[in-house]
Structure formats: structure tokens, C-alpha cells
């Protein structure tokens, strides 16, 4: 592979290019009209304009991306995350064009894109699953019977879903049918596929995922877990590795289960197997993400591996150069996603021009971003500004570094989730490790941030007053200097 086209934008495009460059591989950016001045365009060796701002006409256009690759002679395409990264048709079209898709084969993507197909595929692989049915509900009465057996509440899920879309909690038998009708029509309008199934509802789960890495020669390894329970409307905000509650014994079992999931779909490349963990630390397979994930840096920090480098090596057909026994966790890493969203206004997008953009740096700080002061956040795409990653020899140190890094990060021109990150790092439940996917719902309200800002403002006011008094005294001294001398400047 001599030249890679990155079919993405923002921080992930830059992040992939950095590794390509390190490996001596040339890079091609694609960009939309809204991204003419974007950093990924500037950073790449070559850049191709592929269309107007809306993603559907640019970053999501299979034809345009492949045309750009042919035009520039790219022999590999990295899809990043989002956009076309989990589009089986795209993976197929890339291979058909004689270009290497840096990701799993189209079959794996397709299989894991359907929750029911995924359940079916892993059936004989001894993977712990949430009690429920593993086929689409056709007979409502039968489903109701099974629901009673499992015990309410149960969850109706869309097979084509993911990220929480098309999910319905059913509290009792009476509300089964109306909730089911809603789930089906929601699934049809969102995914064009009304297949739904039921699972026992795990009330206070943690979301823990395992990073896996597989080569074309049958080697599959797990790169430990990431804890992603701090989410808002299925959008992760804080992630960490390792999880504060996963023991070496659980880690080994989860890792082995994740490897079997990968084997069940002939997986190649970097992938993530998601699990739910209940309050008794039982874990259940949820779904597999067949892409590089946003939060992959925390895994890189604790393993010392470059996941993009591994993706490229595996895509070139190389054998993984290490074994499971070679991998170990060193230290602890946290990631805060900094979104241009207003934590004081229900996390609504708050895009604008970054009038001030001063970033933290130093030991144990990694910042994956794609902005510079003066740049404007486009309204067309994901409003993530940056991923602030901190590393420490232990969890406490990583948290303390995150606090300091947040304080050293100065953004003006858009409201961001930075103060929310501070709230999390200062929260007793987070610090103790005793939290679940309801953390934000249970503990967060904007008053906490207002209070925090109030305290900060009070501190600033006090500092300002002291400065004023000191200056006044100094100036008074100056006033005693004879005017003839003072004016002689």
C-alpha cells in the first residue's frame, strides 16, 4: 500500500493520515465544499473535492469517493468511523475497484449490521446473551408468552437498529402490543426493516466493550476493554480503559468471548464487541461494531499499540506480529469528547467560530482534534471538536490530569462539553467507579455547571480584587515619585 485515501473528515481523517505518514504511505483527502479550509485537506498530500456540504452528496457518496481514489491512484481506502465505515456495499465497491478496503470484509459488516443475524451467527460459539428470543417476532401471542416467561420489564429492539434507535421498554403484558406496534413502525421508518425481537431488560447496566484485532491468517486477539457507560442519548461522552470494575478474571472471559464473536463472522481488522454488564457483573453480548471506534485512543494509551497501523498491516495481509501473552495493560486512560454542544441548554448544538482556541498539552495528555483558532464549526456534520485523552499510571492520576487539561483548554465562540467533563471528573460516583449508563440522567443537571462556574467566577473576582489592590498600592508608590522625574520618559 503506497497511497491511502481517507474517506472521512475531521479529527479521525487527521489521525489516520498521521499514522499513514509515519508508515511512509502517501495520503489523499476527500472534502466537501464546506471543508475547503479544513485541516485534513491541508494535511494530506493530495485532496479531491467531492461535492457540496451535505454528507449525502459528498462523504456518503460511494461513487464520488471511489472516483477520487481512482483519479489519484490510491490503492487503499480507510473509512474512519461514521459515514461509509459500516456500509457493506461500500466495502464491496472498493474491492471491486481493485482497491484495498482498510476494514473487515463486506460479509462481516453485513452480518453484524443485523442484530438478529449477529445473534444467529454467534449461536454456536458459547457467547453469553441476554435472555430473550433470537428471531424476529411474527406471532405476537407467542412473543407475549415468552415475555411473561422471561419476566417484565422486557425490551423490544429493532434488528436493523443500533445506537438505541427503535428500542421500547415494556413494563407489563398489557402494554406489550401497543409498544410492539410502535417499535415496528419506528423500525420501518428508520431502517426500512420492521423486524423486532425481545430481550430481558437489564435495568442498570454498564456498557463495556472489548477491542479486538484479527488478521487474515486466523489470529484473533483482544486488546482489553473500554468502559463507555457515561452516555447521553446513546452518545458517549466519557470513556476509559481499563474499566474500574472489570477484574482480571472477568477481563479474560470477556476477551475470550469477544474473540469468539470475531471468529463467528470471520472478522479481519480492528473491531469492537459490545457487552452489557449487569449489577452482578454478568456480561451479555450486545452487538459488534465493525469499524475503528471514536474512543480507540484509550486502548492505544494502555496497550502502546497504534490501532490504525495495525489496521493497515492486517489489510496488507501481514500476520499480527504479537500474541495475546505479549499484550498487557499499562496505566489508565480517559477520553472526554468535546462537543460543540451547550450543557446548559440540553446539550443542543452550539456551533460557531472558535474565537479563542487554546489547547492543553504536556505529559499524559493526547488531543485528537481538527481545529485551529478562528475556524468555524460547520453545521453539516457531527459537532465534535476534539477528543481530550489523558493518561496516568493509575485511574486517579488520569482523572486528575483530565481536570487539569480541562482547565487549560480555552474555547470561546461555541459552548462545549468541557464543563460537563469537569462535572464528571469531580463526581463521587465517577471517582468511586460506582456508576452505570444512567449516570447523566441520575446525577446531571445544569445547576451543577452553573454552581461550578459561579465558584470559578468568585475565585476570579477575588483574584481580580487582590490584583487591583496590589496595583493600586504600587501606583500610589509611583505617585510619590517627583513629577519632574515621572514625566521625563
Q: What positions carry a catalytic annotation?
A: 291
| Interface characters, 227-266, with ligand MV4 (x: CB under 6 A) | ----x--x--------------------------------
308 binds ligand MV4 (CB under 6 A): no
Q: Judged by CB, which is closer to ligand MV4: 131, or 331? A: 131
Alpha carbons 379 and 383: distance in angstroms, whole number: 7
Q: Judged by CB, which is closer to ligand MV4: 215, or 287? A: 287
Considering only 9, 437, 439, 449, the residue that binds ligand MV4 (CB under 6 A) is 437
As measured in angstroms, the least distance from the Cβ of 231 to ligand MV4 is: 5
As measured in angstroms, the least distance from the Cβ of 139 to ligand MV4 is: 21
Place of cell 401471542: 141
What is the grid cell recorded at 137?
Answer: 417476532
Contact 6, 40 (CB under 8 A): yes
As measured in angstroms, the least distance from the Cβ of 432 to ligand MV4 is: 20
350 binds ligand MV4 (CB under 6 A): no
Where are the extended beta strands (E) located within 12-165?
A: 26-32, 46-51, 76-78, 100-101, 154-158
27 binds ligand MV4 (CB under 6 A): no
Alpha carbons 41 and 33: distance in angstroms, whole number: 11
Q: Judged by CB, which is closer to ligand MV4: 119, or 251? A: 119
DSSP string over 156-212: EEETT--TTTT-EEE-SGGGHHHHHHHHHHHHHHHHS---EEEEE--SS-EEEEEEE
What is the grid cell recorded at 461?
Answer: 473576582
| Interface characters, 178-217, with ligand MV4 (x: CB under 6 A) | ---------------------xxxx--x-x----------
Secondary structure element (H or E) that encloses residue 220, with its range: strand 220-232
Beta 46-51 vs 26-32: how paired, if at all?
A: parallel
List the interface residues with ligand MV4, window 214-233 (CB under 6 A): 231
| Interface characters, 74-113, with ligand MV4 (x: CB under 6 A) | ----------------------------------------
As measured in angstroms, the least distance from the Cβ of 456 to ligand MV4 is: 30
Q: Judged by CB, which is closer to ligand MV4: 209, or 215? A: 209
Secondary structure element (H or E) that encloses residue 93, with its range: helix 88-96
Considering only 13, 276, 302, 336, the residue that binds ligand MV4 (CB under 6 A) is 276
36 binds ligand MV4 (CB under 6 A): no
| Interface characters, 137-176, with ligand MV4 (x: CB under 6 A) | ------------------x------xxx------------
Q: Judged by CB, which is closer to ligand MV4: 276, or 336? A: 276
What is the grid cell recorded at 168?
Answer: 421500547
Which sign, positive or negative, has the C-alpha torsion 129, 134, 140, 146? negative
Considering only 286, 320, 402, 411, the residue that binds ligand MV4 (CB under 6 A) is 286
Q: Judged by CB, which is closer to ligand MV4: 202, or 406? A: 202
Alpha carbons 51 and 181: distance in angstroms, whole number: 39
Contact 226, 317 (CB under 8 A): no
Beta 26-32 vs 3-6: how paired, if at all?
A: parallel
Q: Judged by CB, which is closer to ligand MV4: 163, or 464? A: 163
As measured in angstroms, the least distance from the Cβ of 288 to ligand MV4 is: 11
What is the grid cell recorded at 172?
Answer: 407489563
Residue 194 CA, distance from chain mean position: 27
Q: CA dist 120 to 56, 65, 265, Å?
A: 32, 33, 10
Binding site for ligand MV4 (CB under 6 A): 130, 155, 162-164, 199-202, 205, 207, 231, 234, 276, 286-287, 437
Amino acid at each position: 500500500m503506497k497511497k491511502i485515501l481517507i474517506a472521512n473528515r475531521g479529527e479521525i481523517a487527521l489521525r489516520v493520515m498521521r499514522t499513514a505518514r509515519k508508515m511512509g504511505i502517501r495520503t489523499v483527502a476527500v472534502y466537501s465544499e464546506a471543508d475547503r479550509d479544513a485541516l485534513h485537506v491541508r494535511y494530506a498530500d493530495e485532496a479531491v473535492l467531492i461535492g457540496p456540504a451535505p454528507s449525502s452528496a459528498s462523504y456518503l457518496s460511494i461513487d464520488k469517493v471511489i472516483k477520487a481514489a481512482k483519479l489519484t491512484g490510491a490503492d487503499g481506502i480507510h473509512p474512519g468511523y461514521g459515514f461509509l465505515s459500516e456500509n457493506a456495499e461500500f466495502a464491496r465497491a472498493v474491492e471491486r475497484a481493485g482497491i484495498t478496503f482498510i476494514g473487515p470484509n463486506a460479509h462481516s459488516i453485513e452480518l453484524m449490521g443485523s442484530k438478529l443475524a449477529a445473534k444467529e451467527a454467534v449461536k454456536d460459539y458459547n457467547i453469553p446473551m441476554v435472555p430473550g428470543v433470537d428471531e424476529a417476532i411474527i406471532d405476537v401471542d407467542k412473543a407475549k408468552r415468552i415475555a411473561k416467561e422471561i419476566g417484565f420489564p422486557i425490551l423490544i429492539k429493532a434488528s436493523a437498529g443500533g445506537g438505541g434507535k427503535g428500542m421500547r421498554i415494556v413494563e407489563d403484558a398489557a402494554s406489550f402490543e401497543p409498544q410492539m406496534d410502535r417499535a415496528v413502525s419506528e423500525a420501518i421508518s428508520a431502517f426500512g426493516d420492521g423486524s423486532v425481537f425481545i430481550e430481558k431488560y437489564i435495568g442498570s447496566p454498564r456498557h463495556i466493550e472489548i477491542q479486538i484485532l484479527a488478521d487474515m491468517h486466523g489470529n484473533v486477539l483482544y486488546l482489553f476493554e473500554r468502559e463507555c457507560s457515561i452516555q447521553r442519548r446513546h452518545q458517549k461522552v466519557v470513556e476509559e480503559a481499563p474499566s474500574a470494575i472489570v477484574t482480571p478474571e472477568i477481563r479474560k472471559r470477556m476477551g475470550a468471548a469477544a474473540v469468539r464473536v470475531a471468529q463467528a463472522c470471520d472478522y479481519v481488522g480492528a473491531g469492537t464487541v459490545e457487552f452489557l454488564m449487569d449489577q452482578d457483573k454478568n456480561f451479555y453480548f450486545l452487538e459488534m461494531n465493525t469499524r475503528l471506534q471514536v474512543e480507540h485512543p484509550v486502548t492505544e494509551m494502555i496497550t502502546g499499540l497504534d490501532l490504525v497501523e495495525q489496521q493497515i498491516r492486517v489489510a496488507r495481509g501481514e500476520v499480527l506480529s504479537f500474541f495475546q501473552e505479549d499484550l498487557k495493560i499499562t496505566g489508565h486512560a480517559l477520553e472526554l469528547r468535546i462537543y460543540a454542544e451547550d450543557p446548559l441548554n440540553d446539550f443542543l448544538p452550539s456551533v460557531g467560530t472558535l474565537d479563542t482556541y487554546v489547547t492543553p498539552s504536556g505529559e499524559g495528555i493526547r488531543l485528537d482534534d481538527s481545529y485551529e483558532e478562528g475556524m468555524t464549526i460547520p453545521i453539516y456534520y457531527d459537532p465534535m471538536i476534539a477528543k481530550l485523552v489523558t493518561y496516568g499510571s493509575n485511574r486517579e492520576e488520569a482523572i486528575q490530569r483530565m481536570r487539569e487539561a480541562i482547565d487549560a483548554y480555552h474555547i470561546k465562540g461555541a459552548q462545549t462539553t468541557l464543563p460537563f467533563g469537569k462535572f464528571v471528573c469531580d463526581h463521587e460516583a465517577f471517582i468511586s467507579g460506582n456508576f452505570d449508563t444512567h449516570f447523566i440522567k441520575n446525577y446531571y443537571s445544569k445547576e451543577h455547571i452553573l454552581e461550578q462556574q459561579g465558584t470559578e467566577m468568585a475565585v476570579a473576582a477575588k483574584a481580580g480584587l487582590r490584583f487591583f489592590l496590589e496595583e493600586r498600592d504600587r501606583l500610589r508608590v509611583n505617585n510619590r515619585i517627583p513629577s519632574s522625574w515621572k514625566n521625563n520618559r
